[in-house]
A and B are shown apart, each in its own frame.
Chain A
Amino acid sequence: MLLNDVQLARFTHLKHNMLPLTLLKGAQTTQMMVELKNGETFNGTLVNCDSWMNLNLKDVVCTSRDGTSFYQMPECYVRGNLVKYIRVSDDILTQVSEEAKKERTPKPARGGRGRGRGTFGRGNAGFGRGNDAGRGRGENANRGQQNGRGRGDSTRGRGDSGRGRGDARGRGQSSQRGRGRGTN
């Protein structure tokens, strides 16, 4: 009974939560009207949009803010942060929600992948820990390594290596960040 109610609640929640960007993505290749913050409007066909709501329109009619001059443009790129609102046709809503329902079914597979990645990441952290601790501290570090590799006493192993792990993580992250900056 309870389970059914929860499932029902989740289902209705998904049904009503039409995310703006999802709608926009679904509205690709349809006619829409975009008003910018400065009052200019663009009537055109959406070619593409991204998660910043940047829009790529084609066959656009641009209307000035006073509504007196009109420009025909073959295409136009509008920056998302300057959009005030977008008008889409009414039938988009039903069309997109139907598409979303279809896409919802294969979701469990994605969760599985996510877990896999998580363990992989931990494995990496383990390597880093071993190296750093080994160099840095004599006795404690050795213990840490043994426990870490053998995995005999799970509780002790974690407890002992707790400090070492903290150090190693700190180093590992800082070096990664450093690299990141370098490439950027």
Chain B
Amino acid sequence: MSGRKPRENILNLEKSLDKEILIKFNGGREVIGTLKGYDSMVNIVLDNTKEFIRDVEDHNKLKWAQDPENSAMLVQVTRNLGIVVCRGTSIMYLCPVDGTYEINNPFIGDEEEEEQ
């Protein structure tokens, strides 16, 4: 029994099916899409996938542009990829979009400790 790999997925993606998830890939690409399928190697099928375009000079930063409807707002530049099969080995991390948002620095107290 124990000789075979149990391959129990530590992440339950079942509950994220048909919900939006964010995936960051090995080289730094980031996509958002609706989770349509997955397997035990965390290969993933996404629908309505949008890739965030990155800054030309700094590939670690995402590209922002003025919102065409509201010129005061900046929005992230994306391109549509449609339905995509994401290879599990090149996935860096993934998280649900729902409940993910940018916050202010929560570590201000221990900043110096982090720097060391």
Chain A residues packing against B (C-beta within 8 Å): 36, 38, 42-43, 47-50, 54-56, 60-67, 69-79, 82
Query: B: which residues have CB within 8 A of A?
Result: 8, 10-11, 26, 28, 42, 60, 88, 91-96, 98-107, 114
What's the dominant secondary structure at chain A's contact region? Answer: strand
Q: Can you sample 21 A-B contacts with CB below 8 Å? A: A38-B28, A38-B60, A38-B92, A48-B11, A54-B42, A56-B10, A60-B95, A61-B106, A63-B107, A65-B60, A66-B60, A67-B114, A71-B100, A72-B103, A73-B96, A73-B99, A74-B96, A74-B98, A74-B99, A77-B94, A78-B92
Q: Tell me the nearest residue of chain B to A78, going by C-beta.
A: B93
Q: Shortest distance in angstroms between B3's beta carbon and chain A's nearest beta carbon?
A: 9
Distance of A47 Cα from B88 Cα, bound (Å): 20
Q: Which residues of A contact B26 (CB under 8 A)?
A: 82
Residue with the highest number of chain A CB atoms closer than 10 Å, among B10, B60, B91? B10
A77 close to B103 (CB less than 8 A): no
Query: Are A76 and B95 touching (Cβ within 8 A)?
Result: yes
Contact between A76 and B93 (Cβ–Cβ < 8 Å)?
yes
Q: Is the CB–CB distance between A71 and B102 below 8 Å?
A: yes
Top 3 nearest A-B pairs (CB, nearest first) are A74-B99, A48-B10, A76-B95
Question: What residues of B have a CB within 8 angstroms of the CB of A36 in the complex?
Answer: 92-93
